[in-house]
Chains A and B, each alone.
Chain A
Amino acid sequence: MTPVRIAVVSAGLGEPSSTKLLADRLRDATLQALADCGAHAEAVDVVLRPLAQDIAAHMVTHNATEALSAAIREVIDADAIIAVTPTFNMSYSGLFKSFFDGIEEGQLASIPTALAATGGSARHSMVMDTAMRPMFAYLKAQVVPTGVFAASEDWGADSGLDRRIAREGKELADLMTALPRRREADPFDVEGGAFQSFEQLLGHA
C-alpha cells in the first residue's frame, strides 16, 4: 500500500517563520503518532510565501501557474491536511485565504485536517474558532477538535506547546487511521463516482 500523504500548508511571511516552525512541529508530531501505530506516512510542505504572486494572478485570471497547480494538487490529493496561518487583524492572513479560495468546491470534502495558528499574543487565539473552523467547515473538511495556537511567548517558557502539538498530531493520526483511504473524486474519470454520464444528466433535467 502506498504511504499516506499529509499536505502541510503554511502561510507565514517571515524568514524564518514561526508559522512554518509550528507547521513543522505539528507535521512531525503527526508522523510520529502514525509511526507509533505502524502506519507508513509521508508529508509534503506547501509553503505559500513563494507562491504569493501566483496566487494573486490566479485570483484575477483563474489561471494557475505550474508551481501553484502543483501546490493545489498536493492539497486536494492529500490524505490529510495540516493548515497553519499567522493571525492578521483577528483572522487568517489574506494569503492563506486566497490560496484556499483557488480550490474548487468539494475538493477538500472529508479530508482529515488539523488547524494551527500563530500570533503576537494569546489574545488572538480565538482565530481558530472564529475564522479557520468556519472556513474549513464550509469546505467540508474533517477538522480535529484540538487547534494549536502559538503566541510569541510560547516559544520561550514551558507553556505546554509541546503537549498541545502532540495531542493534535495524535488526533489527526487517529482520524486518518480510522477513516477509509480517500480517493480523489475526478469528474473526468469515466469509471469514477464523480463522473456524470449523459443518462444521469438527463435524469436530473
Chain B
Amino acid sequence: MSSMQFGIFSVSDLTQDPTTGRTPTEHERIRGWIAMAEKAEEVGLDVFAAGEHHNPPFFSSSPTTTLGYIAARTERLILSTATTLITTNDPVKIAEDYAMLQHLSGGRVDLTLGRGNTGPVYPWFGKDIRDGIELAIEHYSLLHKLWREPVVNWTGKHRTPLTGYTSTPAPLDGVPPFVWHGSIRSPQIAEQAAFYGDGFFHNNIFWNKEHTERMVRLYRSRFAHYGHGAPEEAIVGLGGQIFMKSTEREAKERFRPFFDVAPVYGHGPSLEDFEQMTPLTVGTPEQVIEKTLAFRDYAGDYQRQMFLVDHAGLPLEEVLEQIEILGTEVVPVLRREFDSVRQAGVPDAPTHAARVAQAIADGTQGGEQGAPRRADAAPSEQGLRDDFDTGAAIARQAGER
C-alpha cells in the first residue's frame, strides 16, 4: 500500500448552478455521489469520504447507508466520513453501524469524527452545542471502549448508562476502524487525537497555513508526549480544494461564477485573494501539484490528502472531469514527489490489513483491557475483542462485584 492516500470528500450541499440557475434534486445529487465514488476508484484514488448533515441544503444524513452501497460497487476504495458527528450521534449506534460497514466492505472503512457547528442540530438530537467538546470527549471514550471491550459497563453524563452491553458485530479481525479526529479550530481535539494515538485531520480549506501549522504542530508534539512515537510518526490528514483546466485562464473563467456566489466564502474575498489565503487552487494540474506539495512544508510528512471537488453547484459532468484529472494527472505525480522527499520512519497511511498485521505483531490481539485471547482461534477471528460468551462474561463481572 502506498505511503499516502488521496481522495475526495464532500459536504453534500444542494447548491444552485449559478451559470444555469438550476438546482439539482436530492435524488440527482445522491446518485451523483455514487458516480463520483465509482469514478474515484476507476482513476486510482484511494478514499471517498461522505459528510454528515441533518439539515437542508445538505442531503447526507445517513452516511453508512451510502458508504455500504458504494462498498458493494467498488473493490479497493476506502470509505470514510467528513465528518461523523460524535456529538449528536449515539456512540453506541456509531460503534454498531461502522463495525457493520467494516465487515461488509472487507475492512475498507475509517471515520473522521467532528463536532458539527450547526446550532439547531444539537437540540434536535437532544443535545446542547455548548457541550460540544465535552460530548466529543465523552462519546469517543465510550466508542473506543465499545470496539475494544467485549462487555461494557459505562456511566457518563450525556448518555444513558450501559450495563453488560456488547456492541455487535465485533470489529472485523478484532481491529476497530481507524479514527481521525477532525477539528478546524479546537486545540482540545488535537489533544484528544494525540492522547489516543489516533489520526488528526485538519480541514484547512478555509484557513491560512499558519493556523494549520499550529494545529498540526500541537497534535504532533502531544502525540509524542503521550508516548505513541516521535512527532513525525503521528498520522495527519489535510484537505484541499481545486478546480482544473488546461490553462489557468480557462479554469478561472469557468470557476469564478461558482466561486463568487458559493456558500461559505461567496460574496467575500476575490478568487485571487482566497487562493492566496487558503489551499484553493483554480488553475492547471501543475499548479495544483505545486501548491499541494507545499503543504508538507508546514504540516510535515503526512498520510492523507483529501480534495473538495463537488462544491458550489458545479454540475456532475464537470465534477467527474475533475476527478478524472485528479486521478490521471495529479495524484500519480503527487505520490512520486511526496515519496521522493519523505523522511525515513514516517508511517504509511493506515489500512485495515496493516493494522491487523500490527496488532498481531504487537500481541495486542488479547485486547487492551485484558480480555482473554483465544489461542485456538483462526487469525480472522482473532482480535482485540473476545466475546464468544456474553452471558458468561456478564455473570463473571457480576460475580466480581
Chain A positions within 8 Å of B, measured between CB atoms, are 56-57, 60-66, 69, 187-188, 190, 195-198, 201-202, 204-205
Contacts and interface: CB of A to CB of B under 8 A. Distances in A.
Contacts of B156: 205
A61 B141 CA distance: 33
Interface stretch (B37-45, B229-237, B265-273): B265-273
Contacts of A62: 206
Contact of B195 (A64, A69, A188, A198): A198
By Cβ-Cβ distance, the 6 closest A-B pairs, closest first, are: A198-B195, A205-B138, A60-B268, A57-B269, A57-B268, A61-B265
A195 B206 contact: no
B214 interface: yes
Contacts of A195: 187
Given A198-B192, A201-B137, A63 B187 contact: no
Interface string B181-217: 0000001100110110000000000111000001000
A18 to B, nearest CB: 31
Contacts of B138: 205
A61 B264 contact: yes
A29 B157 CA distance: 54
B141 A202 contact: yes
B137 A205 contact: yes
B277 interface: yes
A92 B194 CA distance: 44
Contacts of B194: 198
A63 B141 contact: no
Contacts of B134: 204-205
Contacts of A57: 268-269, 273
B222 interface: yes
A187 B211 CA distance: 13
Given A188-B218, A202-B141, A205-B138, A60 B267 contact: yes
A157 to B, nearest CB: 46
A190 B222 contact: yes
Contacts of A190: 218, 221-222, 225
Contacts of A65: 269, 273, 277
A78 to B, nearest CB: 20
A201 B188 contact: yes
A101 B115 CA distance: 23
A186 to B, nearest CB: 9
B269 A63 contact: yes
